Amino acid sequence: MKLPGNMQGMMKQAQQMQERLQAEIAQIRVEASAGGGMVTIKMDGHKNVLGVKIDPEAVSDVEMLQDMVAAACNEAVKKVDDESKQKMGGMLGGMGLPPGMF
């Protein structure tokens, strides 16, 4: 099915914007910590954990350490989501779409 010229151009533009957005998201790097910095997680825009730093003092209490790792991971995910939404909002803002559509 062939789309009208204007619609076809808009679809191509949307695809290019999506590719640019994905490239920008891939470049996101965040760092989050828990327990006053005893556990630090580094994460990329695709929510892959890039690094974990654990203060040796945190190792003495395994349950507390597990909670801090989970909390730091959750905070890192939230930061990635926030940055992704910000990038998406900035990019889609120029398209004149209604708020909340994406």
Does 72 have pLDDT greater than 80? yes
Count Cβ atoms within 10 A of the Cβ of residue 66 and give its class: 0-12 exposed, 13-18 middle, 19 or more buried.
Answer: exposed
Given a contact cutoff of 8 angstroms between Cβ atoms, the answer to whether 45 and 83 are in contact is: yes
* pLDDT tens per residue across span 32-65: 999 999 999 999 999 999 999 999 999 999 999 9
Q: Where are the alpha helices (DSSP H) in the chain?
A: 5-26, 62-92
Taking the domains of the chain in order of start, what are their residue ranges? 45-91
Q: How many residues does the chain have?
A: 102
Does 87 have pLDDT greater than 80? yes
pLDDT in the model for residue 7: 81
pTM of the model: 0.74
